[in-house]
Amino acid sequence: MAGKIKTQLDYRNKLILAPMVRVGTLPMRLLALEYGADLVYTEEIIDWKLLRAERRVNDVLGTIDYIDTTDGTVVFRTCPAERGKVVLQIGTAAAERAAAVGRMLQEDVSAIDVNMGCPKDFSIKGGMGVALLYDLPRAKSILEALVQTVSIPVTCKIRLMPDVDDTIKLARELQSTGISAIGVHGRTKTERPRDPVNEAAIARVAKSLDIPVIANGGSQSITRRCDILKFARQCGTGSAMVARAAEWNVSVFRPDGPLPLDDVIRRYLTLSVRYDNSPANTKYCVQMMLRSLQESPIGRRLLDSQTMQQICDIWELGDYCRETQLVYHQAGNQGRRACRPRTLSLDQSVDGSLGGGKRQCFEGQTSNQEQSVIEENICFIRANFPQDNELPKTKLFLYARRNNLELAQYEVQQKDKLFKGIIEFDGKRYSSTFWEKSKRFAEQAAALVCLVQLGVEQRDTLIANGAMMKPVSEVAAPTQNSFDEPSSKEISAKETPEQKPIEIAVKDYVVV
């Protein structure tokens, strides 16, 4: 079938980071490349999540961001260091949506892969993942639509059918759509990682096709790079993608052998801070690396962490994290602290945390003193309040009782998927400029603002635990060497001149 491919991506004899939900985000992909992977797949991203996202050039981070317009979260982020090596995997059940995603992202990724192997109920019930293997007309229509639409390679990733001959027939049909390669997980729809991988079946599929086949599923026997190469040879493919073994220690790709886990975690956290990765995603990836060590003292500290600063403090990177976040905030990075509902103006100031409290009138209010709102950029972090009697709302309740004051009155605004709490107490109104993801957290954040203004909560404490940012005037400007480059010699050696890591000028210093 004639396609529209104008660029090529060689899938032969490649070691690849497999697509893994919540793991294959930018920091992990960059680290895999740094340690020796040839190609990296994103986590599976569902088509409609991408289609409702907005593409933004992030001059502060030096990235291309696709932002969910309903809650401001990053759906997909990429940077020049992975150009030519990153493959976007999508979950889809509709040719039209798949093609729309392809048109939208083809300039920012090197190839598009369709997930036809996920056995999870969410995928199957939506007609995605492994469900497509049992709906061949739909599977082919999706691949054909992509091949005809985009100018980059299109691939798919499948699982084995119970009968290997059926898998071969299926793979040949998929090959006929014009795709450039196919990944084969050596287990069936009902088999799980504890079941042995069927290397012989992958080898039979590879021998039957004209396009490259990428073997997948061998993590049980993989602890170092030579094991990946051995797995590929035994599968007769030359190329292999690694999931769980890389999730546990991504330095498995290193030619010189894997590194100690602490070294990998510290480097991963450095990249996570450098590229403003979400704390929840960062925490999850580190948990997957720790595995059984989650029950250790360090593991328990990680489980109690909610902010990037708290996570980094465990590995003595807290100062680096705080300084970097402040630099980005000064430079206007639209990170989580600046996240606002799409129904509000993005130009409205949200940096009240960088000075004292500020006053602002809410929608529909006049500007007189009684109706103005005192605001601070404070977020509520549940881990900072291990006991229920320490919660901000509880503290404010007790403060009111002790001082014979009327109890605070709360109201919550909801816009899109975000919430802002407003509190009225002792004749004044308080709120946080930080939009929370739940009504309860929004009320607690507003109570925190009130407590800070009353002197019950101390700013220094909130700054130390990540609820506030340190005022700009109290932080010395970082030097050029304060920030690690996003790649090391291993990745630099494989880059073309136009793919070298970028440098971003930020006021009087440079973030690299």
What DSSP assignment string belongs to 270-285? HHHHHTT--HHHHHHH
How far apart are the C-alpha atoms of 118 and 98, rounded to whole Å?
A: 17
Give the count of beta carbons closer than 10 Å to the beta carbon of residue 125. 10
Nearest by Cα to 309 from 323, 296, 297, 298: 323
| Active site (annotated) includes residue 321 | no
How far apart are the C-alpha atoms of 125 and 129, rounded to whole Å?
A: 9
In sequence order, what are the residues at sequence separation of 6 or more whose Cβ sits closer than 8 angstroms to the Cβ of residue 366? none
**Which two structure tokens, joined as six digits, stand for 363?**
């929608």
Nearest by Cα to 88 from 184, 7, 154, 15: 154
Say whether 85 sits in a helix, a strand or coil. Answer: coil
How far apart are the C-alpha atoms of 270 and 267, rounded to whole Å?
A: 5
3-state helix, strand and coil shares in percent for the chain, rounded to the nearest 5: 45, 20, 40
Where b means 16+ CB within 10 Å and e means fewer, 86-104 reads: bbbbbbbbbbebbbbbbeb
Q: Which of 79, 118, 312, 321 does the annotation list as catalytic?
A: 118
How far apart are the C-alpha atoms of 424 and 13, rounded to whole Å?
A: 65
Residue whose tokens read 């091949």: 147
Cα distances (Å, whole numbers) of residue 242 to 39, 249, 342, 468 = 11, 11, 38, 39
Catalytic residues: 118
